[in-house]
Structure 1
Amino acid sequence: MRWLLRAVGAILILVLLGAGLLLMVPTERVAQAAAQQFEKLTGRALTIEGKVTPRFWPVLGVTTGPVSMANADWSKEPGPMFAADGLVIEINASALLGGDIRILGLRAENPRILLERAKDGRENWVFGGGGSGGEVSEATPGVGKSYTLEQGRISGGTIRYIDHASGRRIALDNVDAVLKVPDFTGPFTLELSALSGGQNVALSAQADVFSAFTEGRVVPLTLKASAGKARVAFDGRAGWSPLAAEGTLEADLPDLPAVGAAMGSAISTPPPGFGADRLTVAGQLTLDGSGAAYLRGAKIVADANEITGDLDLKPGKDRPKLSAQLRSGPLVLAGAAGGSVQGGGSGGGMQAAGWPKDRIDVSALGAMDAAVALVAPSVDLGVAKLGETRALITIDRARAVFDIRQMAAYGGSVTGQFVLNGRGGLSVGGDLALKGIGMEPLLQDMAGWDRLIAQGNLTLNFLGVGNSVDEIMQGLKGSGSLSLGKGEIRGLDIGGMLRTLDAGYVGEGQKTIFDGIAGSFSIAGGVLSNSDLKLVAPYLTATGMGEIGLGKRDLNYRIRPTALTKEDGSGGVMVPLWITGSWADPTFRLDLEAIAREKMEAEAKAAEERLKAEAKAAEAKAKAELEAKLAKEGIVAGEGESLEDAVKRKAQDALTEEAGKLLNGILQGN
């Protein structure tokens, strides 16, 4: 940029100093000579079409026809770098005779300017000197020569900026700009207005020491910029080679889409709590020349939220990284849930017909990486209200991890991690531990349900994929466990149902008091499944198993309560209770068929046991009678000997005895 300013300045001065030759030389040859000199100095071809008209007194000047300047040879974009319908250059002739250069006017009609940055970092506006082509040097006539500019103007122009490395494109139309330099070593002003993406943009700058600024050095600077309804103001010192600044920054950003359009980026309106209606930023800004930005003593106001702290933004290989230490007042972030009503449902809590189907836009996660420590006295998420919170938020390649170091909630605490992953779509996950949580206010906030009164512990890990709350809940998976201390379930009297076998013990005034509830669960395809629920209550125990549709918001759950009648817990009445239907309108039904079926099964089992007992008794009686009869015959089973073995033994003894007698008779000759 420094050599661009030197080249243009040198050309203007050389042309104007030699303007007297116009009396003797045809204007076509003057234009040709100027073009040749320009190419020699810059290495770029300059084309001047049409008539060149000189003026000599009291204003020395030149008016041209269409003018164009070639682009860099590496550019593949069509068209020149600069083109205009005409140029008008005017200089104070009497001052020139005295050795001073006072430019009264420099005007470009309908200029078209193309600025490009190549993937390898080359810039098409760098030319003329410094190894970038052309012969501009410190020795070139006009370089370093002081001058003043009463008014330099661009009218009806267009400016296009293309960064081939990042893919960013910025377009400004209807550009009107005025530059005034009343003193080459003193202050100067710049006013610019344009259209970008249909939005009005404007820039106003006042700075000191124009000569130093043209060299890129840091000078006092006051800057104001606007895009749509957004306003940014800077007051301090700044320079552009390298880009450096130090001063006070104030930004009012109620129109982020307009800011994004002006910067060549797509920025959507943030949700409520994040700057939907109001977003301001203030603090001491420092740009250190390396591409890093530091904001100290920052104050950020986003809707009703106020955050203070220090922020560092440093360039990275693929994206910048934000590091921050932030403190806030009470945070209201109800818009973060993607829905605007309690419990996330489109109709409100348990009564909702379904989950919100609005697309959740997390494209902003890919804008930068981050490591942000946040301390807040309270956080209202709309579906949950939290107390004092300390968290570390890290973002890496559009994946945000909320590491909860401390979080008070509903009389208890929450620890763990919550993950928001915007890589190639949206997924949410978490591994959370809730201890000593008041279930009534928690469920009231999250689901609009105030029927469970107890304190308890909950562990939960989950993962959901989708671009809306509805898609996430329909495919949710995970697992967890729940344990509750003493409490009550309002609107349901299980004991009354058992005593009367009447499912009508539902509604206002009904309740079940319990000593504890515990169970574990798994989640797959948006359905929570449980098979080991246990409830202990005075005069009552219960087990439970079934499914809760988290995606479809329905119930299919069976409770098997048993009313106790004995101190040892035995006996009593057991009546299964089915809970089915939607969350909004559940149905409670006593499973009397199950009672009858279980009674028949019990009676059949008892009959079978009775028959077995009778058969066993008959067998024992027959055995006793046989033993008595054999005893009369002298056959008695010995210790450890069965009756059958005793009979065999007796028979063997008799056979042995008879055989002995027969042998004895033979030996004696009988």
Structure 2
Amino acid sequence: MRWLFRILGALLLLVVIAVGVVLMIPTERVAQMAADQFQRLTGRELRIEGDVSPRFWPVLGVKTGPVTIANAAWSEGEEPMFAADGLTIGINAAALMGGEVKILDVSADRPRLLLERARDGRENWVFGGGGEAGEIGAGTPGVGRSWTLERGLIEGGTLRFIDHAAGRDITFDGVDAELKIPDFAGAFSFAASGIVSGQRVSVTGEGGVFSAFTEGRVVPVTLKAVVGGASAEFRGRAGWQPMAAEGALTADLSDLAALAALTGSAVSAPPEGFGARKLALNSQMVLDDKGALYLRGAKIEADGNVFSGDLDLVQGGPRPKLSGNLRGGALDLKGVSGGEGGGQGGGMKAEGWPGGHIDVSALGTLDAEVSIGAASVDLGAVKFGETRLILTIERARAVFDIRQMAAYGGSVTGEFVVNGRGGLSVGGNLTLAAIDAQPLLLDLAGWDRLITKANLSLKFLGVGNSVDEIMQGLSGEGSLSLGKGEIRGLDIAGMLRTLDTSYVGEGQKTIFDGVAGSFTIKDGDLANSDLKLVAPYLTATGAGRIGLGARDLDYRIRPTAFPGEGSTGGVMVPLRITGSWADPTYRLDLESIAREKMEAEAKAAGERARQEAKEAEARAKAELEARLRDELGVIPTEGESVEDAARRRAREALEAETGRLLGDILGRE
């Protein structure tokens, strides 16, 4: 960029020279001289069409027709780098006669500027380099000579920036700009505005020691930018050779949609607690020559939430990479679940889960690895105490690695994933230890009847763009164990003793020593078949379905009273719980008892039939053995079957008869 300022200074002085001789040289010769000198300096073709009109005392100057500057040879398009319908330059004649160069005004009529960055990093605004001809140096006429500019003006211009490496193409229309340099070795100021993607962008700034700034050195700078409802202000020092800035940064980033328009992308408003109403930043900032941004002592306000810490934003990859650490106080993040917990405003009594659209498109704007801590976190559906986690974002997939999370008297560890690649999915592998079940279930589902300490391991995956869609398609597996506790509003032992379902309601309860079981989740339904409950007066097993998506259940508990408890000791009466979470129905499953009794009787009858058949077979076998013994003299030896004995007896009889016949034959001879 140093050469850009040098070229600007040299060209302005060339114009001064041209004005001085314009009365003696034809205007077309002046235009040709300027074009030839520009190409010698930069290696780019300058074309000035039409007349070059002079102006005289007290203001010397020229006004041109259409002007174009050729683009870099490597440009993939055919558009020039710069084009304008005309240029006007005015110079203080009296000052010029005294040896001073005071440019009163420079204006461009409908200028169009095209800035390009090649795939290999070359930039078309770098003149005299990258294989192009050009002889800019300290000895170039005009370079290093001081000058002033009372007013430089652009009206109705267009600025287009194409980054072929990043695939970005951004256009600013309606560009108006003004530059003032009253002292070449002193302060300068500028103001510019334009429209990009329908958003008005304005930038104003002031700097010190313009001559040093043109050489890229660090100078005091104040800069303010406004985009839609967003703004940023920097006060400090900055230079560009190499790129560097250090100072205080204050920003109001509430209008994220307007900011996203600068990059040609679209981002929806974040949920409440993440900047839906307010997103502000105050920090000390350092910017290096590679475009990396370092924030120290940063304070971030997102709606009512406040974070503090250090952040680094590094460029160069497919997306900016954010890293650092943040610490927050009591965080209200209920917006992440679409509102309050437990369904549409009523916990267990609600008709369904929140159906509001969850937008996580902001995950695709950057990658991140940030350590986050908070005194407490309220997610609406659940609440947590002291929390410490590592947030990693890569290609729109966020992973929350939970290192510490206090929750309901216990703790949560594991991993929670929000995947925004091609839609929204959430999943995780969580372990909950020594959790107070009553407040957890009260927050999560509005149900306060279970009082115990719970341990839970859970792997899950849900896909959808709302809490309702996610819960309807939830899948996973896990296990649950409960310590000593009680179920309020349900007396299972009383039901079992009296076969009366009225043991439900206020004042009723079931005390237990422990509960354990495992489960699977598919299509929003939790299925369990091995629940075991041990209580002072009964034992019970359980199996059935709990509709996590539909918020209903069909579950059967099979309790058995201990022997000696009343007249029903040892009797098992299944209890079936059906209906919605809001209004479940409890009933003794007498049909199941009758069915099981019929099945038992059928089994017993079958067993009796098999026994009778076996006895009949034994009697027939005994009768056969007796007849064989009495009539044929077949007597089985020890370990010999009746069949083997009969064959042996037949063989012996045959041998005896054969011997008798042989004896008769031999005797006759």
Aligned to 1:573, the other structure's residue is in SS state: coil
User: AA paired with 1:342?
Assistant: G
Residue equivalent to 2:46: 46
1:536 aligned to 516, 534, 537, which one?
534
The reply on whether 1:208 has 2:182 as its aligned counterpart is: no
1:520 aligned to 514, 518, 521, which one?
518
Cα shift at 1:73: 2.5
Residue equivalent to 2:471: 473
TM-score, normalised with respect to structure 2: 0.88
5 Å-filtered alignment, 1:218-617, equals: 218-337=218-337, 339-343=338-342, 345-346=343-344, 348-566=346-564, 571-606=569-604
Aligned to 1:329, the other structure's residue is in SS state: strand
Residues 92-128 of structure 1, C-alpha deviations (whole Å, 9 max, x = no match)? 1111111111111111122222111111111121123
Cα shift at 1:644: 9.3
TM-score, normalised with respect to structure 1: 0.88
Any conservation in 2 of the 1:4–1:128 contact (CA below 8 Å)?
no
Any conservation in 1 of the 2:122–2:130 contact (CA below 8 Å)?
no
Any conservation in 2 of the 1:129–1:136 contact (CA below 8 Å)?
no
Cα shift at 1:615: 9.1
Any conservation in 1 of the 2:270–2:359 contact (CA below 8 Å)?
no
Residue equivalent to 1:660: none
Any conservation in 2 of the 1:548–1:557 contact (CA below 8 Å)?
yes
Any conservation in 2 of the 1:168–1:265 contact (CA below 8 Å)?
no
Any conservation in 2 of the 1:482–1:519 contact (CA below 8 Å)?
yes
Matches of 1:515 and 1:310, distance apart in 2: 49
Cα shift at 1:131: 5.2
Aligned to 2:22, the other structure's residue is in SS state: helix
Cα shift at 1:612: 7.6
Matches of 2:473 and 2:487, distance apart in 1: 29
Any conservation in 1 of the 2:484–2:512 contact (CA below 8 Å)?
yes
Any conservation in 2 of the 1:539–1:565 contact (CA below 8 Å)?
no
Classify 1:54/1:616 alpha carbon distance in 2 versus 1 (closer, same or farther; 3 Å).
closer
Aligned to 2:100, the other structure's residue is in SS state: coil
Residues 63-92 of structure 1, C-alpha deviations (whole Å, 9 max, x = no match)? 223322222232233532222232211111
Residue identity over aligned pairs, in percent, reads 67
Residue equivalent to 2:16: 16
Aligned to 1:95, the other structure's residue is in SS state: helix
User: AA paired with 2:558?
Assistant: R
Larger mean CA deviation between 190-199 and 452-461 belongs to 190-199
User: AA paired with 1:218?
Assistant: V
Classify 1:606/1:48 alpha carbon distance in 2 versus 1 (closer, same or farther; 3 Å).
same
Aligned to 1:23, the other structure's residue is in SS state: coil
Residue equivalent to 2:151: 151
Cα shift at 1:266: 2.7
Matches of 1:426 and 1:623, distance apart in 2: 75
Any conservation in 2 of the 1:6–1:143 contact (CA below 8 Å)?
yes
Aligned to 1:18, the other structure's residue is in SS state: helix
Number of aligned pairs?
653
Aligned to 2:31, the other structure's residue is in SS state: helix
Matches of 2:87 and 2:597, distance apart in 1: 105
Matches of 2:33 and 2:567, distance apart in 1: 113
Larger mean CA deviation between 508-517 and 385-394 belongs to 508-517
Cα shift at 1:166: 0.9
Aligned to 2:318, the other structure's residue is in SS state: coil
Residues 340-368 of structure 1, C-alpha deviations (whole Å, 9 max, x = no match)? 2322x345433344444444332332333
Matches of 1:470 and 1:277, distance apart in 2: 25
5 Å-filtered alignment, 1:59-78, equals: 59-78=59-78
Matches of 2:364 and 2:575, distance apart in 1: 50
Classify 1:266/1:615 alpha carbon distance in 2 versus 1 (closer, same or farther; 3 Å).
closer
Classify 1:501/1:53 alpha carbon distance in 2 versus 1 (closer, same or farther; 3 Å).
same
Classify 1:533/1:35 alpha carbon distance in 2 versus 1 (closer, same or farther; 3 Å).
same
Any conservation in 1 of the 2:197–2:264 contact (CA below 8 Å)?
no
Cα shift at 1:204: 1.4
Residues 505-537 of structure 1, C-alpha deviations (whole Å, 9 max, x = no match)? 444444333222110011223322111011222
Classify 1:26/1:644 alpha carbon distance in 2 versus 1 (closer, same or farther; 3 Å).
closer
Matches of 2:67 and 2:98, distance apart in 1: 31
Larger mean CA deviation between 535-544 and 274-283 belongs to 535-544
User: AA paired with 2:58?
Assistant: P
Any conservation in 2 of the 1:129–1:137 contact (CA below 8 Å)?
no
User: AA paired with 2:523?
Assistant: G
Any conservation in 2 of the 1:460–1:479 contact (CA below 8 Å)?
yes
Classify 1:65/1:506 alpha carbon distance in 2 versus 1 (closer, same or farther; 3 Å).
farther
User: AA paired with 2:450?
Assistant: L
Larger mean CA deviation between 224-233 and 484-493 belongs to 484-493
Any conservation in 2 of the 1:455–1:487 contact (CA below 8 Å)?
yes
User: AA paired with 2:476?
Assistant: G
Quote the RMSD (CA, aligned, Å): 3.7
Any conservation in 1 of the 2:341–2:347 contact (CA below 8 Å)?
yes
Matches of 2:447 and 2:135, distance apart in 1: 80
Residues 193-236 of structure 1, C-alpha deviations (whole Å, 9 max, x = no match)? 22232222211111111111112221111111111121211111
User: AA paired with 1:178?
Assistant: E
Matches of 1:290 and 1:568, distance apart in 2: 84
5 Å-filtered alignment, 1:107-122, equals: 107-122=107-122
Residue equivalent to 2:194: 194
Residue equivalent to 1:634: none
Cα shift at 1:464: 2.5
Matches of 2:29 and 2:115, distance apart in 1: 30
Cα shift at 1:328: 1.3
Aligned to 1:482, the other structure's residue is in SS state: strand
Matches of 1:508 and 1:642, distance apart in 2: 74
Residues 134-175 of structure 1, C-alpha deviations (whole Å, 9 max, x = no match)? 332222211111101111111122211121111223322222
Matches of 1:614 and 1:89, distance apart in 2: 124
Cα shift at 1:611: 7.3
Classify 1:420/1:613 alpha carbon distance in 2 versus 1 (closer, same or farther; 3 Å).
same
User: AA paired with 2:509?
Assistant: K
Matches of 1:416 and 1:37, distance apart in 2: 69
Larger mean CA deviation between 121-130 and 612-621 belongs to 612-621
5 Å-filtered alignment, 1:71-86, equals: 71-86=71-86
Residue equivalent to 1:173: 173
Matches of 1:513 and 1:79, distance apart in 2: 83
Any conservation in 2 of the 1:3–1:129 contact (CA below 8 Å)?
no
Matches of 2:381 and 2:173, distance apart in 1: 45
Cα shift at 1:58: 0.9
User: AA paired with 1:92?
Assistant: N
Residues 411-451 of structure 1, C-alpha deviations (whole Å, 9 max, x = no match)? 11111111223334333221111111011111111222222
Classify 1:62/1:497 alpha carbon distance in 2 versus 1 (closer, same or farther; 3 Å).
same
Classify 1:457/1:99 alpha carbon distance in 2 versus 1 (closer, same or farther; 3 Å).
same
Residue equivalent to 2:96: 96
Aligned to 2:262, the other structure's residue is in SS state: helix
User: AA paired with 2:229?
Assistant: K
Any conservation in 2 of the 1:372–1:392 contact (CA below 8 Å)?
yes
Residue equivalent to 1:664: none
Matches of 2:622 and 2:162, distance apart in 1: 110
Classify 1:570/1:66 alpha carbon distance in 2 versus 1 (closer, same or farther; 3 Å).
same
The reply on whether 1:127 has 2:146 as its aligned counterpart is: no
Any conservation in 2 of the 1:477–1:524 contact (CA below 8 Å)?
yes
Any conservation in 2 of the 1:347–1:353 contact (CA below 8 Å)?
no
Matches of 2:413 and 2:127, distance apart in 1: 58
